[in-house]
Structure 1
């Protein structure tokens, strides 16, 4: 019986894979390096080879594989990766290549959307329908789920929370080419830049060092945290007031600071969120960590397979 599912999460340095059954139980997790040579042309074939080897190692027939979900760091549509700068892909036929090699359905989704679906599916004790997921790390990413469905958008760019424009006295150029996107100020790299500007010298090189200074009451670190939280809270409140979700989930490397980051963000949200929403909104730290992407990729293909006539 074909009830095995593979979830794949393609990152800039490594590709995480996990083998699931159709109920969402993981039996194997592993990873391979991301080979970006020759504009990433080898990646789909190395994913296929890795899956074939894993099935061979475990004595499992590939006939038991029913589908594969793949999260990609960039916009995707139903048939191809529109763009993945770090991998060298433009209109890349990832789905077609993997489907032809393994002869099973493949679902593509953006990696932040995959992480959002993973948290939606397995991250909470209760099954919700509407969540907003934000990752605060090197950049700011996100995923929006409405009535159990990821919002990918007409241009394959739904959930690009990090590119909400913010108002600032200075000008920072975003990686997308626009000026003063949220991630210029609300990301880990944005926080480090703000901190060192306030201090007038290079005091920190990452947010781990910054939060250590927050703990001991360093005024520049505390001001940096206050400024960053305010940017994030204003932008997120716009989304929350528009969508009225059940839950806001916060992931990414900066969320690892725990209550030092989450608590002030909750407090700031209370200033800006519409009262009717504020009183019932759940805010939590993401619980799946680096596994969220493979869970979400697996969930996506499981849901798609349910719609295919037997």
Structure 2
């Protein structure tokens, strides 16, 4: 009888679940709609109900539950301090779930979970020092050093998207600061940069998205080339700064923007090389994330391996 873990990935639209064997293979998936009404107060109990309905038949085979949350986790690992998109503030999620199932529960920030998932089963499998960057509507990330997530005193470690950019342009970030990295190097940032360059050139191309920008890039369009050049310049500077600080084995890039593949990753490599410490240059990797939507849910359960003493984790030390 192979032991199993339950991964729960809470998003703004859906809550995804997976029944995962301790070797990392996914046995079953399902999902429910995210209910953010009344500040999401019913959601913990809806999660418990869905797990009960879908895992009850496995009984003692299920030995732990990992939950990924789009927000900050308290220092003691018991509560969600804040998850804006869910309407949560100081929600004792670990306590609620553990009291129902009497099994170990871990809470993990969603970006950190994706980083752990890519390290365990994805693009950085076999590595233990990693910078994971998520390029979506914003810029998220996770930093792993010696197999442990760099979480920080205030649960804000790995907030790569809020590294400041040195520029005369003024872009206000959702966090309230000005010129955070995500205002330039996210998908939103790429669109904003491209629109600015088009306006300066007196060109109107109507509505477009990042796929259009990369399509124009492939066609040799000078405005697209300038937009992507600026995007990877700032991203490369930020990543090189982290690399020079933690000396990771490599960089994994995920999120919707990463689907552009080499047209994004190749200039990004060159940008990082321009700013990286000479001792590290040519001795690290830059790879596209491999797990897609499964990264987070696998990373949700990864810390449980050490908690429960699974044989596949005998040599691992994990902090979340």
- Normalising by the residue count of structure 2, what TM-score does the alignment of the two structures yield? 0.91
Question: Which residue number corresponds to residue 16 of structure 2?
Answer: 16
Task: Find 1:249's aligned residue among 244, 248, 252.
Answer: 252
SS of the residue corresponding to residue 171 of structure 1 reads coil
C-alpha distance in structure 2 between counterparts of 1:104 and 1:117, whole Å: 21
Aligned pair 1:277/2:274, yes or no?
Answer: no
C-alpha distance in structure 2 between counterparts of 1:275 and 1:32, whole Å: 49
Task: Find 1:295's aligned residue among 289, 294, 298.
Answer: 298
Instruction: Using the TM superposition, give the Cα deviation of residue 126 of structure 1 relative to its aligned residue in structure 2, in angstroms.
Output: 4.6
C-alpha distance in structure 2 between counterparts of 1:125 and 1:229, whole Å: 21
SS of the residue corresponding to residue 220 of structure 2 reads coil
C-alpha RMSD over aligned residues: 1.5
Contact 1:8 1:297 in 2 (8 A): yes
Question: Which residue number corresponds to residue 49 of structure 1?
Answer: 49
C-alpha distance in structure 1 between counterparts of 2:206 and 2:192, whole Å: 10
Question: Which residue number corresponds to residue 217 of structure 2?
Answer: 214
C-alpha distance in structure 2 between counterparts of 1:285 and 1:143, whole Å: 15
Q: Residues 142 and 126 of structure 1: is their aligned pair in 2 closer, same or farther, counting only changes over 3 Å?
A: closer
Contact 1:192 1:204 in 2 (8 A): no
Contact 1:44 1:94 in 2 (8 A): yes
The one-character-per-residue Cα deviations of 1:203-240 (angstroms, maximum 9, x if unpaired) are 44421121111111222111100000101000110000
Question: Which residue number corresponds to residue 25 of structure 2?
Answer: 25
Question: Which residue number corresponds to residue 110 of structure 1?
Answer: 109
The one-character-per-residue Cα deviations of 1:84-142 (angstroms, maximum 9, x if unpaired) are 00000111111111111222111011100000000000014751111110011110000
Question: Which residue number corresponds to residue 69 of structure 1?
Answer: 66
Question: Which residue number corresponds to residue 145 of structure 1?
Answer: 144
Contact 1:196 1:203 in 2 (8 A): no
SS of the residue corresponding to residue 236 of structure 2 reads helix
Instruction: Using the TM superposition, give the Cα deviation of residue 268 of structure 1 relative to its aligned residue in structure 2, in angstroms.
Output: 1.2
Worse overlay, 269-278 or 187-196: 269-278
Instruction: Using the TM superposition, give the Cα deviation of residue 60 of structure 1 relative to its aligned residue in structure 2, in angstroms.
Output: 2.3
Contact 2:65 2:104 in 1 (8 A): yes
Contact 2:71 2:80 in 1 (8 A): yes
C-alpha distance in structure 2 between counterparts of 1:198 and 1:124, whole Å: 34
Contact 1:2 1:66 in 2 (8 A): no
Question: Which residue number corresponds to residue 82 of structure 1?
Answer: 81
Aligned pair 1:167/2:170, yes or no?
Answer: no
Contact 1:2 1:65 in 2 (8 A): no
C-alpha distance in structure 2 between counterparts of 1:155 and 1:50, whole Å: 32
C-alpha distance in structure 1 between counterparts of 2:101 and 2:2, whole Å: 13
SS of the residue corresponding to residue 277 of structure 1 reads coil
Contact 1:19 1:27 in 2 (8 A): yes
Question: Which residue number corresponds to residue 120 of structure 2?
Answer: 121
Aligned pair 1:234/2:237, yes or no?
Answer: yes
Contact 1:9 1:72 in 2 (8 A): yes
Instruction: Using the TM superposition, give the Cα deviation of residue 244 of structure 1 relative to its aligned residue in structure 2, in angstroms.
Output: 0.5
- Normalising by the residue count of structure 1, what TM-score does the alignment of the two structures yield? 0.94
C-alpha distance in structure 1 between counterparts of 2:205 and 2:93, whole Å: 42
Q: Where in structure 2 are there 5+ consecutive unaligned residues? A: 311-320
C-alpha distance in structure 2 between counterparts of 1:234 and 1:136, whole Å: 15
Aligned residues: 304
